[in-house]
Amino acid sequence: MHGLLGVRSCQEAVIASVADNRAYTTSWYTGCITAKNSSSGYLGVRAAGYRDGYFCNVTSWYYNSSTTWSFGVGTELCSNPPGTQSFYTQADSRYWNGSSYTNFTETNSPSQNY
Amino acid sequence: MRKTHKWLGLAIATVLIMGIVAIPAMSEEAPTFGTIPDEAWDTVDGSVDRSLVPDYVAALDRSGDFAGYVSADDILPTDGTPAPDGPIPVVDGNLALVGHMVPDRGFVPLGTLFEDVPRFPVRLIHGLEDGTEEIVELHKDQ
């Protein structure tokens, strides 16, 4: 894995602001304690958006274009009509292990009501 | 007497065959349709309780109006495998295709080219060593 044992990907799904679905993936040494830089194309991420239990849409897979320890994609996947809505982001990420991508799935943000 | 046995055997065979064909058909449950309830989202471990998710999840178009249903298998991971890439079929309550959910574009009804629907503006966020972020915006002019 990237020439070093113990490197892994940790991911996060957030609602950054009103209806802004963001999915992050970060590369870390084991234990998600010390971040580590990853070369271009090593980190892939996509975000899916949900509102009130409805599926809104999903982004394409995007990959880091420069060396970084954290890479994310953000967009407003759901409309935000008047009133209070409950939004979720679901994150999928993948990490290049030297020969193929290892996938990480099922990270959901806490719901945010706007 | 021999003829009676022959007919009896044929009748039994017919009943057995009908049973074999009918039982799986009867045991097939109709698919469920609806939204994902709040309690299905486990925000502690980040998982989704698939037992609470309908087979087909209601989907919205870009205006926030109901567009149809997408298969839960097409949007949620299964056994650690991410949902497939690419356009997601959208069906009505009779499972007839009505369009697709296209990544970065949203609902595209049948008869409309994907390319004719503009992409959402997307922000790509790279973490920098000093703790700040570099944000690149894509598809802003679409």
Domain boundaries, chain B: 1-30, 33-117
Measured between beta carbons, the chain B residues lying within 8 angstroms of A111 are: 38, 41, 43
Note the pLDDT tens digit of each residue in B68-101.
999 999 998 777 777 888 999 999 999 999 999 9
Measured between beta carbons, the chain B residues lying within 8 angstroms of A37 are: 129
Q: Are the beta carbons of A69 and B127 separated by less than 8 Å?
A: yes
Neighbouring-strand partners of residue A44: A63, A94
Beta carbons within 8 Å of B33's beta carbon, 6+ residues apart: B54, B55, B56, B58, B69, B93
Q: Give CA–CA dist B112/B109, Å, rounded.
A: 6
Q: Are the beta carbons of A72 and B124 separated by less than 8 Å?
A: yes
Q: Give CA–CA dist B76/B113, Å, rounded.
A: 25
Q: Which domains does chain A have, with CATH numbers?
A: 8-79+87-108 (2.60.40)
Helix (H, G, I), strand (E, B) or coil at A82: coil
Top pLDDT among B82 and B50 is at B50
Point out the residue among B70, B85, B124 whose CB comes nearest to the CB of A62: B124
Residue of A nearest to B128 (CA): A68
Measured between beta carbons, the chain A residues lying within 8 angstroms of B126 are: 64-66, 68, 70-71
Q: Give CA–CA dist A74/A66, Å, rounded.
A: 17
Match 């990480």 to its residue by tokens.
Answer: A104
- Has the ipTM of the complex gone over 0.90? no
What residues 71-90 of chain B have any CB closer than 8 A to a CB of chain A?
A: 75-77, 80-83, 85, 88
Q: Are the beta carbons of B125 and A58 separated by less than 8 Å?
A: no
Q: Are the beta carbons of A78 and B64 separated by less than 8 Å?
A: yes
pLDDT band at A98 (very low <50, low <70, confident <90, very high): confident
Note the pLDDT tens digit of each residue in B102-131.
999 999 999 999 999 999 899 898 888 888
Note the pLDDT tens digit of each residue in A79-91.
887 777 788 888 8
Point out the residue among A56, A69, A109 whose CB comes nearest to the CB of B43: A109
